[in-house]
Amino acid sequence: MVAYIRELSVNKKKWLDGETFKNGVALCQSIPGATAMQVSGYVGLMKRGLLGAVATFVGFGLSAFLFMLLLSWAYTLFGNIPMVSSLFNGLQVIVVGIVANATYTFARETMKVYQDILIALASAIAFWFGISPFFVIAGAALIGMIVFRTQMISMDTKDTKSTGPGQISFVIPIVFTIAGVMFLFAINKRLFELAMLMIKIDLFAFGGGFAALPLMLQEVVNVRGWMDSKTFMDGIALGQVTPGPIVITATFVGFLTNGLAGAVVATMAVFMPSFILLVIGASIFDRLKQSLLFQRSVKGIFASFVGLLLYVTIKFAIAVPWDFIRLMIVVAAIVALLKKIDILYIVLAGALISIFLL
């Protein structure tokens, strides 16, 4: 998606030059949230300021939200029908392959030195023993500041012009978010809890949308018990059918727990913090990318997400009733993902196989 956004905004529309877009991608990879969605917001921010960022953010996420809303509604109506149950039994296996592939991708990009491996393993073990992933991530950031002092972290720190379009007002989205949360607190405590949860998840989801999965799994399934692991895996599978970031699973969680209002609240809450951080970060990115302390902490956080995703892979795998067919499906899915076959085709193929064989 990032490559397509670059082709559209730099080469076709000429909205940004290549260097500005590159700085935007680096910024979006350094702050929590769904990277592709933030890159689209960055393009709007550079082109038309705050309103441009809102327009591109909403434009990028709206279709995914509407698709997920429709699929969540259908899931509540038809999820217990035998054919549909068979379909999701197979899609659970696909989800294991998707998360396993995400773990491998994170590890390949992150595991450069033995300290990375140690942080990842320690994070997985801590998560396994029930320590909150938010504490795990905060601890990894602190450890990263200490253990990576002797490591040269590759980031362009040459003097550049500010990536922001001058004085950007980020007060408006902050005030809007605070007012919205206070309003929910006054009228519906359950929606307030849902909103605060999704805000917290987004604030800690460094490394893109997949980084939110361990946090959401822990809070929605293990801590609050709003749904079981199987249902959560079904939500991830549905999210892969939609044209958008995987954190759109928040819409599924919101709908199943609080109906239409929950879907709207969860979706807005899971994207708002990263939007605010994008607007703020665009103004101060030059200082961020020259801060070795910031770089070391982010490196520690990225390593911790390898461990958290490893835990999620194992957790999901345990939930699957394995047999020969399911084993062949997950192997085929992982091979297809490694071959860069579009994930939508993998999910659809898995759905068809599941209907007829499971």
Q: Is the pLDDT of residue 36 over 80?
A: yes
Q: What is the mean pLDDT of the chain?
A: 84
The answer to whether the beta carbons of residues 40 and 57 sit under 8 Å apart is yes
Q: Which residues contact 113 (CB under 8 A, 6 or more apart)?
A: 151
Q: For residue 171, which of 46, 39, 279 has the smallest C-alpha distance? A: 279
Q: How confident is the model at residue 66 (pLDDT cuts 50, 70, 90)?
A: very high
Token duo for residue 117 = 């491996």
83-120 confidence digits (pLDDT tens): 676 777 777 888 889 889 888 888 888 888 888 999 99
Percentage of the chain beyond pLDDT 70 is 90
Instruction: Note the pLDDT of residue 151.
Output: 58
pLDDT, mean of residues 340-358: 80
Instruction: List pLDDT tens digits, range 235-288.
Output: 988 887 777 788 899 999 999 999 999 999 999 999 999 899 998 888 777 676
What is the pLDDT, as a whole number, of residue 198? 95
pLDDT at 342 over 90: no
- Report the distance separating Cα 184 and Cα 334, nearest Å: 42
List, for residues 134-152, the tens digit of each pLDDT value.
888 889 989 988 888 765 5
DSSP character for 152? Answer: -
Does the pLDDT at position 343 exceed 90? Answer: no
Range with the largest mean pLDDT of 78-82, 154-158, 182-186, 321-325:
182-186
What is the pTM for the complete model shown?
0.77
How many CB atoms neighbour CB 313 within 10 A?
23
For the chain, the domains span 2-150+166-357
For the chain, report the end-to-end CA distance as a whole number of angstroms: 33
Instruction: Give the total residue count for the chain.
Output: 358
Q: Which of 207-211, 232-236, 313-317, 318-322 has the lowest mean pLDDT?
A: 207-211
Contact 28, 22 (CB under 8 A): no
The span from the CA of 108 to the CA of 118, in Å, is 15
pLDDT > 90 fraction of the chain, expressed in percent and rounded: 29
- What is the Cα–Cα distance from 13 to 98, expressed in whole angstroms? 33
| Separation CA 162–CA 160 (nearest Å) | 6
- What are the tokens at 86? 């068979």
d(CA 148, CA 139): 14
Give pLDDT, residue 240. Answer: 77
How many Å apart are CA 21 and CA 46, to the nearest integer? 9
Look at residue 160 in the predicted model and tell me its pLDDT: 43
- What pLDDT does 315 receive? 85
Which range is least confidently modeled, 63-77, 161-175, 259-273? 161-175
DSSP one-letter string for 91-147: HHHHHHHHHHHHHHHHHHHH--SHHHHHHHHHHHHHHHTT--HHHHHHHHHHHHHHH
Choose the weakest-confidence range: 36-40, 156-160, 275-279, 310-314: 156-160
Distance from C-alpha of 19 to C-alpha of 210, rounded to nearest angstrom: 27
Model confidence at 308: pLDDT above 90: no
Hunting for tokens 């902050």 — which residue is that? 174
- 52 with 45: CB under 8 angstroms? yes
What is the arithmetic mean of pLDDT over 140-169? 62
